[in-house]
Amino acid sequence: MVFSSLSFLYLFFPLCGLAYFLCRNRAWRNGVLLAFSLVFYAWGEPKNIILLLLASLTAYLCGLGLERWKPRPGLRRAVFLVGVVLLAGNLFVFKYLNFFCGNLGRAGLPVSVPEIALPIGISFYTFQILSYVIDLYRGEIQVQRNFFYLTLYVSFFPQLIAGPIVRYQTIEAEILERRESLEDISAGLRRFVLGLAKKVIIADNVGHIAEIIYKGEAEMYGSALYWLAAVAYALQIYFDFSGYSDMAIGMGRMFGFHFLENFNYPYMALSITDFWRRWHISLSTWFRDYIYIPLGGNRVKKSRWVLNLLAVWALTGFWHGAQWNFLLWGLYYGVILLVEKLWLGRLLDKCPKPARWLYAMVLVLVGWVIFNLTDFGQMSGALGMMFRFAPTDWAKVLAADASIVKGLLYLPLGLVFSAPLLPKLRARLPKDGWAGALVLAGENLVCLGLAVLSVIYVIGATYDFFIYFRF
């Protein structure tokens, strides 16, 4: 089930909200969220719910063991290591075993390739569970003694499938002590509608451009349209993923949970370092806090620091999928960040902002081509075409598939709203008094219009899959 489906919008979410607010007791409300979250996850593949529950049980038992054996550091560390190995091993088996066996088989070794389907959302909920176990081992949170409440944290449907990666400490107090309010419900609903509009109005339509170009003949599209395809995919993945995060944050707020932001207008970045402070913030901070810093971060000698940085970015790339292009994509960013931190960053600081922005965006667009195209032949062909300055045969382009024009109509919309125009406009408008009330009424009317328009797009949609469901 996806947020942009009619079954979710007209059946699942209204029933969940109705059942939730009919309950007055906090425990019952948590029970409603847990029940609906498990139904949500089991909707497509019911058997995968067993894996999620086993992972939750592993974290629960590990947590109890860490709490019980505090006076015995050696035994406590053993419990911690067993928990981490089991959880990480589960992710490895279901996400990477096929890949490694396949590569060993192609290398000539007598290894059979198991046919293991990837459970949806396993990367996200595994990282959430690992953060709980690690933070508990570090003494940064309290153990959750109620298995059902821990399972609610793991399976909470707004962020279960594609993030953001919510750490237990973010909502530790809110599981039992949150207070829902009309203000939170209203703000959460507006945020949900904004995310839905991002997905179904912008992402799904601009993505059509890249899909057409990458499936066509390279010589016909030329350099200009290959750059356009890179821009279109960049906008598609941003509005698709940030739209999902907006919907998750909005729904969480309606139920009294306050998740941290996951995006901060990444295409306004003035360097690659700046880009990764703005893009998928929950993932980049997870790798920083649980991998990079424990390895020593930048507090070690330079050679070790270089290895730490490259290792973290190789893992970041590989986290996205068991394909060589993801590993290449991670190392691509690792090398660029390394160069920026060693010397280029100081040079960039002296350059005018437009030049810094152009530098960052060219590298980001190249990165999205590497990320998007898993076939290395197609990838190298696309990158080569972008830098060959080959002409575009517009007559053949339109004759081959005139529907590309539809995607082009949405491109300016994506470019405009990838900049922080709305927050800047809202900051200038009055917030108090009768003028503030009029502004709020106007926002609600715009939200209502977007909701109606989004539903129209959902009804006519032929594609409703979120890109990050792959990971």
- HSE-CB of 384 using CA atoms within 13 angstroms: 8
Structure-block tokens of residue 150 = 């821990």
Neighbouring C-beta atoms of residue 347, cutoff 10 Å:
10
Nearest by Cα to 207 from 443, 428, 471, 466: 466
Exactly one of 208, 258, 280, 320 is catalytic; which is it?
320
φ, ψ dihedrals at 337, nearest 5°: -65, -35
CB atoms within 10 A of CB 441: 10
Cα 51–chain centre separation: 21
The CA distance from 383 to 364, in Å, is 13
Which residue type is seen at 381?
G
Residue found under tokens 């599981």 = 175
- Is 320 annotated as catalytic? yes
Q: Which positions are catalytic?
A: 320
